[in-house]
Structure 1
Amino acid sequence: MTKEALFPSPAWPSVPVKGENAAYPVHRIFCVGRNYAAHAAEMGVEVDREAPFYFTKSALTTQATDTTIAYPPGTENFHYEMELTIFIGKPVFRADPATAAAAIYGYACGLDMTRRDLQLAARAKQRPWDLGKDVEQSAVFAGITKAEAFGEVGPQRIHLEVNGDVKQDAHLSDLIWKVDEIVGDLSHYYHLAPGDVIMTGTPAGVGAVVAGDVITGGIDGLDPVKLTVGAAE
């Protein structure tokens, strides 16, 4: 018998879908590390071409586009990362690339906001990145475009601006691990299902923001994402 909860439990956060009245609930967020060679180089690391690697964010870090978040505690080096985000639409487990591609419901622009100083300190000590990556309000998503409406992933430009100045500018063809490869590989470790979200990595050009900065980002064919960084609490 299910017992009454000790305290109110929030509903799953959700992301709107273009052309739908219903929204997409976010249950888990997986993130791909070092998936653009130029970004890996600027971070001073080699690209692992044997397999993708992952870290996670809590679903409760989900934040809507065009909002303001507080500058987070514990950091003096808060970074933006612009990313193509995958939303899973059907159960998939131990999939080949074709089956993995068919499980993709849609795509959206996303921001993986990062306490870079804490991430690098953890990396130097070979510790998990949780304090650097699993940051409150740090997974910012624009509305979802369904996969069939977006088309083949590859030629689209991906870019980010801070206060109107271009900071990141690349193409999705620069992804080391393509979307079907990512979903297929991850499905060998997890039973992926609707509600699972995968952020595919960021191009070169990451950098710090301060209170008052406005971040805008886009990918050809997707709704843009926007975030304002507010004062620290």
Structure 2
Amino acid sequence: MNNQLILNSVIDLSSKYISNSDIFDYIKNNYNDDEINFYFLGKIEYMNAWNLQKKIHHLVKSGNLGDIVLFLEHNHVYTLGKNADSNYILGRFQDKIDIIQTDRGGQVTYHGPGQLVGYPIINLNKYRKSVSWYMRTLEKVIIRTLEQYSIKATTKEELTGVWVNDEKICAMGVRLSRWVTMHGFALNLNPDMKYYDGMIPCGIQEYGITSLFEFLNKEVDTFEVMNYLANFFINQTKILN
């Protein structure tokens, strides 16, 4: 692992605030309008997190809240993008896992314990009004973070997400309204990989799925990963602005 100095940029709300309204009120009353604000929410059900995103997105879009990035973990769930093919969800776990139709881009994705999810809710009017710039920025943030663990990750032409060789380690799917983003990325730290057998991830059959654990053979510190992500996110938005 590289010994690059990182700042503790992420505020931990996972043990202090239980309900969505508590989290929302804290963020609304304590954000810094001059910088990107990063929060860790712990484990949250998908629908609760989606509803929280919508409330934050509304305030960011109306100019009443600064840029926010939520880090969290979900219980087991399959989500479909707005134009996803439901046939990509196979029958193996359908009676055990919630399946949720969303309004993000992309196909079918799995979320669950051991996966770090990031939901940036930022106003691209402050940076660059370009979906491709935003997606490339997210990919670079993930790639730089993985470099700190000596994992060489790349992108694939015409495919979103971040890859190590021919295996995806980070899935991405976003939605923009008036150039304000929501949804985001899912980085595999140490998820139970069997749940990927219940779907065709992102509708791509020819490539596999991997995680940091499969390369390092040990669990990584989630807060360390989040702080790498936060610092590289800040750096990339400054560099490419």
With structure 1 as the length reference, what TM-score do the two structures score? 0.34
Which structure dedicates a bigger proportion of its chain to helix? 2
Q: Which has the higher contact order (CA 8 A, sep 6+)?
A: 1
With structure 2 as the length reference, what TM-score do the two structures score? 0.33
Which structure dedicates a bigger proportion of its chain to strand? 1
